[in-house]
């Protein structure tokens, strides 16, 4: 990556006039709808469930995915004032497709209730707790440092903690550490893209460096974990790759920085299946 100044890294060209190159409808749906966080939550949960030998891991993947649709959908529909500044392209998409997003939230809420009905109380309670925090996100997300911490923790406990509480057994702390490092790296980069990097990390190059360090730490944690967790290395490795070529644009943030986590999780599932 060619960086000539900290200001160039921290610039946030997230304005519609500067990002109007033709894109396919499918890519816009992936980038700006709830499909990506839902797919990521489901893939991470299945991977964790398989490593922990959790009974019926697909059930918990459905719970995590539907919960992601509800939480992220509510946030994007309710907080358009702030999002117009940080994510104008996504906000325009949300405004155009608000009805479809509300329908997807309603369907996802029904799926979530169905999957949690009769579930172990500890795992169901964990999802209720994470969901409560998620619904408060609109009031807290302007605090970039705090947002990075609690969102990373929420993703970790929802995708690794729930399968463990649902009857899994094994190195849940190792999985949680890998997930936390990977998601934290993603969020630090997202804050940088939105000009929300914490003041302590100014100039912005420091935030990008920290994001890369977190992703590299995730790789090291996966490689140093028990052998069955080796496939998890793809998650932080993919994130590190996206950060290595970081561009502070809205589409790169969603499709590359966020999409890298999903790609890494999917490769992890393939790796698990062949080993």
R_g (Cα) of the chain, nearest Å: 18
Q: Which ranges constitute the DSSP H helices of the chain?
A: 6-10, 25-32, 35-51, 57-78, 80-86, 88-96, 98-116, 121-135, 137-140, 144-156, 162-165, 172-193, 204-224, 234-244, 250-251, 259-274
Angle between helices 57-78 and 88-96 (to 10 degrees): 100
Confidence of residue 203 (pLDDT cuts 50, 70, 90): low
| pLDDT(26) > 60 | yes
Q: Out of 33-37, 147-151, 238-242, 258-262, which region has the weakest mean confidence (pLDDT)? A: 147-151
When pLDDT is cut at 50, 70 and 90, the band that residue 191 belongs to is: confident
Specify the pLDDT at position 152.
Answer: 93
pTM over 0.75: yes
pLDDT above 60 for 258: yes
Q: Can you give the pLDDT at residue 44?
A: 97
Q: What is the DSSP letter of 55?
A: S
pLDDT recorded at residue 34: 87
Query: What per-residue confidence (pLDDT) applies to 266?
Result: 97
C-alpha 142/C-alpha 189 separation (Å) is: 15
Residue 205 burial (CB count, 10 A): 18
What integer pLDDT is reported at residue 107 of this predicted model? 96
The b/e string for 42-79 (b: 16+ C-beta within 10 A; e otherwise) is bbbbbbbbbbbebeebebbbbbbbbbbbbbbbbbbeeb
* More confident site: 220 or 12: 220
Lowest mean pLDDT across 66-80, 129-143, 170-184, 191-205? 191-205
pLDDT value of residue 142: 58
**Predicted local confidence at residue 2, as pLDDT:** 36
Angle at 182 between CA 66 and CA 61, to 5 degrees: 25
Residue 14's pLDDT band (boundaries 50, 70, 90)?
Answer: very low
């Amino acid at each position: 990556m060619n960086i000539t100044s900290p200001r160039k890294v921290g610039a946030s060209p997230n304005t519609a006039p500067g990002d109007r190159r033709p894109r396919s409808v499918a890519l816009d749906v992936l980038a700006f709808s709830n499909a990506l966080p839902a797919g990521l939550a489901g893939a991470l949960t299945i991977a964790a469930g398989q490593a922990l030998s959790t009974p019926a891991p697909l059930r918990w993947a459905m719970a995590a995915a539907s919960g992601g649709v509800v939480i992220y959908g509510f946030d994007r529909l309710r907080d358009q004032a702030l999002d117009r500044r940080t994510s104008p392209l996504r906000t325009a998409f949300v405004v155009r497709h608000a009805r479809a997003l509300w329908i997807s939230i309603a369907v996802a809420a029904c799926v979530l209730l169905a999957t949690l009905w009769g579930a172990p109380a500890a795992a169901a309670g964990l999802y209720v707790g994470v969901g409560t925090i998620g619904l408060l996100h609109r009031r807290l997300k302007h605090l970039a440092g705090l947002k990075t911490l609690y969102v990373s923790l929420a993703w970790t406990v929802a995708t690794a903690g729930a399968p463990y509480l649902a009857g899994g057994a094994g190195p849940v702390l190792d999985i949680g550490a890998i997930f936390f490092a990977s998601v934290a790296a993603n969020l630090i980069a997202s804050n940088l893209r939105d000009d929300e990097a914490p003041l302590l990390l100014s100039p912005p190059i420091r935030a990008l460096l920290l994001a890369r360090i977190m992703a590299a730490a995730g790789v090291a944690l996966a490689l140093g974990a028990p052998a069955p967790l080796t496939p998890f290395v793809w998650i932080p490795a993919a994130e590190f790759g996206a950060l290595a070529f970081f561009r502070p644009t809205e589409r790169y943030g969603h499709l590359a920085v966020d999409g890298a986590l999903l790609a890494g999780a999917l490769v992890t599932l393939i790796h698990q299946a062949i080993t």
